[in-house]
Amino acid sequence: MEPLTALALAGNVMQFVEFTSKLISRGCELYKSTDGRLAVDEELRLIAAELKELIERIQSSGVFGLPSRFGTSIPVVSTGPDSKFKKICSEATKIAEAILDKLEARKLDKSRNRKVESFKRVWSQIWSQGELDALFGRLSMLKKAIDSEILTTILSKVNELNLQTLAHVQKSDHEAQLILKSVLESTKANNREVMAAVARLTSRMDMFRSEDRSRTRDMIMEECGANPTMLKLDAETLHDGVFTLSQWKEKTLRKCVNNSVLHALNFEMRPKRYETVFEAHPKTFEWAAKYATSSGLSSTGFSTWLQNESGLYWISGKPGSGKSTLMKHILDDERTKEYLEMWAQQDADSSGPLIIASFFFWNSGTLEQRSQMGMLRSLLFQVFEQEPKLIPIVLTSLWLKQYGKYLTNGPGVVWTESWTLSMLMTAFKLLTKQQEVPCKIFFLIDGLDEFEGDQELLAELFNDISKALVPDVKSSIKLCVSSRPYVVFQENFEGCPMLKLQDLTLRDITWFVSDRFLGNGAFNKLAAREPQATNELIDAVVSKSGGVFLWVFIVVKDLLKGIRNRDTIPDLWRRLDALPPELEPLYHKMMSQIDPIYLVWASKVFQLIRTAREVVVSDDFNVMDQGFLTISELYFTLGENFDSLAAKRLTQEELNDICLETEYHITARCVCFLEVAKQPWLQMSESHVQYLHRTAKDFLEEPSRWATVLDHTKNTVFDPSWSMLQCKSFLVRRFLNTSNRTAAHFMADTFIIMLALAMRIDSRSPFYNDKISVLDGAEDLLSKYHVNLMSQVIFASWYADEPEAKFPRNIRSSLFACALALDFTDFVDWRLSTLNAQDPAAGKLASTLMIRGLATGCDWGRVIDLAPFENLHMKMAMVLVQQGADLNALVANQGSDITIWRYILSYRSGS
């Protein structure tokens, strides 16, 4: 039998087994019309019609000697009397016929109103329990035989599948053709789970060919008075109605699978860096949209490249020259898309969409914002969101696995795959090479120098993609990247069209300086008196800038301060001359200008910002807005004469006013190092306090300089983690005091961050014991408002097999489970010590169950989806053993003679 036929037939039998097994075990109604459930007899007739269809499809498949619908050129299995495949198909047919016989024997009883009877009751009247048990056993054996015999045989011949067989696939299902083609071309197709999904997909595709079955079903539905096109399956059993499949249902299922992949690729902080980049000043960067080349351009102008070229374009620039602002301007400018559409339309053979995907690396952001994995996830997410047809083509094996899980478990299935760098890299390279789905893709990646990792590997990735593209209009990919002019990028991007940003921005800087100065009333009065002198001052600022926008921003800010003080022209010249022309010396100069009475306050702010950035939990927790310090949090943490009772009663308008005052304090006390990043859709109190630029962060957090920052608070009891922990606790209570609703997600996010903050408060801190009382208070609120911290991750209680009464609530809580998942040993140790003091037997049992769960990687420990034992860190293991964990206890579901200790040792040894 030809392989594709075998796959389709195996899929038929697999779906029949699932369908019938659920029918037998649950006796559930599978079908609904738009106005309610079908009557019992109507549903039984539908089942009978579909079982007949199954028998006809098996008998016409070629396994019984009839011609194969896909051809018979490549023998996969023998079709002789002893063929295992034939026996399996025969057994499926016999089971279907046995059910049919029962249904046919049940004649309609006109004297009874069957419509009021439940399907489950009528089903149990047809079958005895013994008959159902026997049928269920036969189905189980059938399923095992398919898995062990048929898929193994098909896998051994998968290399003999050829693309010509796809011509026989239903032409109207072009998407399925592409999926199968990707499987056949994939080097990873030799996988049982993948091939099982392929078999089911092939089977479902073939169902669309049966017009007779459709007519039979529609006839039954018309007799029932229901519209056959409006037939729908119960959401709980979407996957069960395999033989009432319509193309609409199949498309819906595939869309669900696509959405699950998109959801898994996305991450909360993905667009944050883009949002925080400065908007381009009006009239600046206009040169980027014009045809004319400048001295800083190579032979190809940027706008010309957008319209006509493919490959890679490199935007190089000094630190602070405005690269990110330019990249954001390019992305937002309507002319960019207009030019790219011209490029896309030049290929007459391509009718696909234009896709634009971007990523802004951020060295000060979360791990996803500064890593290659974060970049790849973000770019793939954006491309797939705009063209979902690419998902099963690029992530074929992963898509098929998820497709199979949806068929088996329904649309509520949980995503359990973990992204790896290798997986994402392979997918990205495949995306840039694929030709099955026509499309044009423009990638814009900012800040390659802010990537945390081997920059050589990152540069090589883009260089390899660029070299693989034919430099003509028919290429489907183009990339625009920006970075500092590091040697690694110069070497890899040599020969690519490029521009040096600092050589092109003098006119933009002139616009900016003039606009800022002329927007100040005091400067205008000065200019009216001395027009030539003020123009010379503007020219001097522009000339001294060296094309570095950030330097100009800081210097203009300082000069405007002098103008507000009514400095004369000579005073302003002295100010300008005193400011170094390079950024680092300029930062030194500005640092020395912080008023001594503000040094302690400024030091606390710098420490709080760094702590907020470093307290980031796994993306699997789905915590929103982590890694940042809001201006209201800064006020509540450091506000002088802070009255918590009064603060709880503040209205939003009053809080915004206070935060505006706090912004003035930041400007005056932290000079040029920090800014408040305001967004039009956020309240002032929700604005983030952040470094003005990466160069400011790098300067201030240089180890020797950071030690100086810390020195300013060494004579105080300030601990940034403790201060933020208190602030988070207060914010939850303020929220509950001022809001008419309970925002479970906000509370869960806040308490998870509180756990992470508490972990940073070590035994050297005077607040080491106080953190426990704060967490106890948090736990009381979680219990009161029924908030589960583990709702965003896979979570099954470690004590699931034990009565809840054995353990107190604070041990069974989701806060405690999170502490285990985050490896918060202090908190776990304290809780178990308390339990052991009260009930030693319960403490020992709890410790044993926890170490067993962590060592074997059971679901509740899979917060970061690690392999077995990787969840169990040595420090946590020591705590659990000290609290009475019995390593000689048996490991559940691993055999009667395997202890926890043996399991750990066997894992460590690799046996």
Angle between helices 506-518 and 531-545 (to 10 degrees): 140
pLDDT confidence bin for 281, thresholds 50/70/90? confident
User: What pLDDT score does 788 carry?
Assistant: 75
Q: What percent of the chain has pLDDT over 70?
A: 67
Domain count, the chain: 5
Q: Which two tokens stand for residue 623?
A: 């915590």
Average pLDDT over residues 291-310: 65
| C-alpha span between 289 and 675 (Å, rounded) | 30
Backbone dihedral region for residue 229 (phi beyond 0: left; psi -120 to 50: alpha; all else: beta): alpha
495 and 520 fall within a common domain: no
Q: How many angstroms separate the first and last alpha carbons of the chain? A: 40
When the pLDDT of each residue in the chain is averaged and rounded to a whole number, the result is 76
In this structure, which amino acid lies at residue 707?
A
- Residue 788, in any domain of the structure: no
| C-alpha span between 706 and 720 (Å, rounded) | 14
Say if CB 558 and CB 579 are below 8 A apart. yes
- Residue 632, in any domain of the structure: yes
239 and 292 fall within a common domain: no
23 and 163 fall within a common domain: yes
Q: What percent of the chain has pLDDT over 90?
A: 29
340 and 489 fall within a common domain: yes
Strands 232-233 and 311-316: unpaired
Domain end, chosen from 503, 535, 556, is at 503
In 208-333, which residue ranges form alpha helices assigned H by DSSP? 211-223, 247-265, 272-276, 302-308, 323-332
User: What pLDDT score does 125 carry?
Assistant: 67
pLDDT confidence bin for 2, thresholds 50/70/90? low
Domain end, chosen from 224, 243, 262, is at 243
Say if CB 725 and CB 771 are below 8 A apart. yes
Q: Which two tokens stand for residue 636?
A: 């509540």
- Residue 773, in any domain of the structure: no
800 and 730 fall within a common domain: no
pLDDT confidence bin for 726, thresholds 50/70/90? very high
Please, which residues have CB within 8 angstroms of residue 472's CB and are 6 or more apart in sequence?
310
In 719-769, which residue ranges form alpha helices assigned H by DSSP? 720-738, 744-760
CA count, 13 A, side-chain hemisphere, 316: 21
88 and 224 fall within a common domain: yes
**pLDDT, tens digit, 9 for 90 and up, residues 146-205:** 666 666 565 555 544 544 444 444 444 667 667 766 666 664 445 556 666 666 666 665
- In angstroms, the Cα distances linking 563 to 15, 534, 579, 738 are 79, 12, 16, 43
669 and 742 fall within a common domain: yes
- Maximum Cα interatomic distance, the chain, rounded to a whole number of Å: 110
**pLDDT, tens digit, 9 for 90 and up, residues 524-571:** 999 999 999 999 999 999 999 988 999 999 999 999 999 988 999 999
pLDDT confidence bin for 71, thresholds 50/70/90? very low
User: What pLDDT score does 215 carry?
Assistant: 45
pLDDT confidence bin for 238, thresholds 50/70/90? very low
- Residue 267, in any domain of the structure: no
Q: Specify the range with the lowest mean pLDDT, choosing from 412-426, 442-456, 578-592.
A: 412-426
236-272: buried (b, 16+ CB within 10 Å) or exposed (e) per residue?
ebbbbbbbbbbeebbeebbebbbebbbebbbbbbbbb
Say if CB 700 and CB 610 are below 8 A apart. no
**pLDDT, tens digit, 9 for 90 and up, residues 470-523:** 554 467 899 999 999 999 999 889 888 999 998 888 888 999 999 999 999 999
Angle between helices 192-207 and 3-26 (to 10 degrees): 90
| C-alpha span between 546 and 712 (Å, rounded) | 35
User: What pLDDT score does 816 carry?
Assistant: 86
**pLDDT, tens digit, 9 for 90 and up, residues 338-391:** 999 999 888 766 678 999 999 999 887 777 888 898 999 999 999 999 999 999
33 and 113 fall within a common domain: yes
| C-alpha span between 473 and 905 (Å, rounded) | 59
- Residue 776, in any domain of the structure: no
144 and 174 fall within a common domain: yes
For 478, the enclosing helix (H) or strand (E) is strand 477-483
469 and 515 fall within a common domain: no
Between 259 and 177, the more confident residue is 259
User: What pLDDT score does 364 carry?
Assistant: 77
Is residue 411 scored above 70 in pLDDT? no
- Residue 771, in any domain of the structure: no
- Residue 777, in any domain of the structure: no
Average pLDDT over residues 45-71: 56
498 and 520 fall within a common domain: no
CA count, 13 A, side-chain hemisphere, 751: 32
User: What pLDDT score does 630 carry?
Assistant: 92
190 and 313 fall within a common domain: no
Domain coverage including residue 905? 793-909
**pLDDT, tens digit, 9 for 90 and up, residues 686-718:** 999 999 998 999 999 999 999 999 999 999 999
- Residue 265, in any domain of the structure: no
Is residue 286 scored above 90 in pLDDT? no
- Please give the distance of CA 805 from its chain centroid, rounded to a whole number: 38
